Amino acid sequence: MHPLVNIATQAALEAGEIIRHYQEHIDQLDIESKGKNDYVSQVDKQAENAIIQTIRKYHPNHAILAEESGRQGKENQGVEWIIDPLDGTTNFLHQFPQFSISIAVREKGKLQHAVIYDPMRDEMFTASRGQGAFLNNRRIRVSEQKDLDDSLLATGFPYHDFSYIDSYLASFKSFMQQTAGIRRAGSAALDLAYVACGRVDGFWEFNLKPWDIAAGVLLIKEAGGLATDFNGGENFLDSGNIMAANPKLYKQMAKVIGQTVPAEHRA
């Protein structure tokens, strides 16, 4: 295992302990609202601090981009860590056990390492560029589903920028009519990890943040899948629009997105 993946898994396990503890003591939490439908608790912050401290212990000069504390150091120079300490806060606050920790490492603008950890199921997803993707140290692959008709897709709903709602619902309606089912579980990072290990066949969502998707995209690519923005490009960290699937299904999903989402919302 690459040393940086080792650090990332150690950091994720530490954050996982904090998250599991508070999941059992949810009444001890102070919950703040950062805006409409945007909650944060001290768990998000404590978990993030634990992750950053672990990274800093080994690499005090690496750049960090983390959801709760923002950016430290310059991007696109050397090594940058992209961190979501708790992906699925709404689920966590409701004790709906579907949330994760997402940690990615980017070097000179390229995603190199990825860790996504589900603390309730103790599932650790890891990947390094060119080395494949793993779940608890066992190799994972995307599904072999070839037909959209028989596929199970994951997605997330728009929740803050509702200007996307009609475009989203158009794509949703089309997928609803053409697939075996759609799941909306509430942690985009975990959804992407599930594409990587074949539990779902594909995923699409609008307007996500870099820390929601950076690790998941590398996991999927290392598991043999495709992950792009809505134009088939690599601009997903900036646009936040992401679609992913195994290569066969990807083409069929891209067609649906192309037919239902207007160009101005695909960019």
Q: Which residues bind ligand 2AM (CB under 6 A)?
A: 37-38, 84, 87-90, 156, 159, 186-188, 205, 212
Which residue's beta carbon is nearest to the bound ligand 2AM? 156
CB nearer to ligand 2AM: pick between 58 and 157: 157
Give the nearest residue (CB) to Ca ion.
87
Nearer to ligand 2AM, 6 or 23 (CB): 23
How far apart (Å, rounded) are the C-alpha atoms in residues 84 and 255?
A: 31
Minimum CB separation of residue 263 from ligand 2AM in Å reads 23
Cβ-based nearer residue to ligand 2AM, 205 or 229:
205
Partner in contact with 88, chosen from Ca ion, ligand 2AM, none, beta carbon below 5 to 8 Å by kind = ligand 2AM
Q: Residues in the site for Ca ion, rule: CB under 5 A?
A: 67, 84, 86-87, 212
Long-range contacts from 165-171, C-beta under 8 angstroms, 24+ separation = 167/206, 167/260, 167/261, 167/262, 167/265, 168/206, 170/260, 170/261, 171/204, 171/256, 171/257, 171/260, 171/261
| Torsional sign, CA 128, 132, 135, 141 | positive
What is the distance between the alpha carbons of residues 55 and 49, in angstroms, rounded to a whole number? 10
Give the shortest CB-211-to-ligand 2AM separation in angstroms.
Answer: 7
Output the smallest distance, CB 49 to ligand 2AM, in A.
16
Q: CB-wise, 210 or 225, nearer to ligand 2AM?
A: 210
Chosen from Ca ion, ligand 2AM, none, partner binding at 118 (C-beta under 5 to 8 Å by type): none
* Cα–Cα nearest to 261, from 165, 158, 184, 192: 165
Over the range 55-66, which residues count as b (16 or more CB within 10 Å of their CB) and which as e? Answer: beeebeebbbbb
